[in-house]
Amino acid sequence: MASTLEIRPLAADDVALANRLGRDAFAAPAEQPDFGDELGRSIAHTWVAVVDGVLVGYALGWLAADEAQLMSIAVDARFRGQGLGRALLERFLDELVRVGARTIVLEVRKGNAPARALYVAMGFELLGERRRYYADGEDAITYRWCAAT
Ligand SMILES: CC(C)(COP(=O)(O)OP(=O)(O)OC[C@H]1O[C@@H](n2cnc3c(N)ncnc32)[C@H](O)[C@@H]1OP(=O)(O)O)[C@@H](O)C(=O)NCCC(=O)NCCS
């Protein structure tokens, strides 16, 4: 049977599963979002990917004035490599532009090849590098995406 994909805003009922997804995807607690907190944060915008009724991905961003930051994105490891990350990010960019974002920035671990390839494929441009940005000493790479004028 073909599976169904829905991409929709985070709801209160999603918090436990989204938190677990973040914990599974990121080893460092500082990189694991708390979606309970995010739900109450007016600048936060979170979109989730739901396959056959099960939450399997999220994209979380903060928007201030016309600049957004992609704070975190993750897809359940069992569902990676199937286009879900791209679909989520596409929807996230569309929705953030709809609510006023002109640019979207992000940081990513230098060694995170899958995520970096996704960002470049989506039109993010390299901004710079932050030496030893993460607690374990890894460098961060920063990217920026600009909405079409
Ligand atoms: C990054 C992540 C969200 C990508 O999700 P995904 O659903 O696997 O990605 P998709 O299947 O939509 O792939 C989209 C593009 O990403 C890139 N990509 C995805 N997986 C890749 C891999 N293992 N190696 C290289 N590039 C990869 C490719 O450019 C791919 O496009 P293509 O299929 O046309 O080649 C996922 O790997 C993830 O959750 N990683 C752990 C959390 C994380 O590191 N988040 C980013 C923190 S900044």
**3-state SS class at 64:** strand
Ligand 1 atom closest to 57 (CA): 39
pLDDT, tens digit only, all 149 positions of the chain: 689 999 999 999 999 999 999 999 999 999 999 999 999 999 999 999 999 999 999 999 999 999 999 999 999 999 999 999 999 999 999 999 999 999 999 999 999 999 999 999 999 999 999 999 999 999 999 999 999 97
User: Domain residues for 129?
Assistant: 5-146
Distance CA 77, CA 79 (A): 5
**3-state SS class at 129:** strand
For residue 114 and ligand 1, the question of a CB distance below 6 A is answered with yes
Ligand 1 atom closest to 109 (CA): 48
Residue with tokens 């979380």, as numbered in its chain: 60
Q: What is the pTM of this model?
A: 0.97
- Give the other-Cβ count within 10 Å of 65's Cβ: 9
Instruction: Give me the CATH number covering residue 91.
Output: 3.40.630.30
Q: Domain tally for the chain?
A: 1
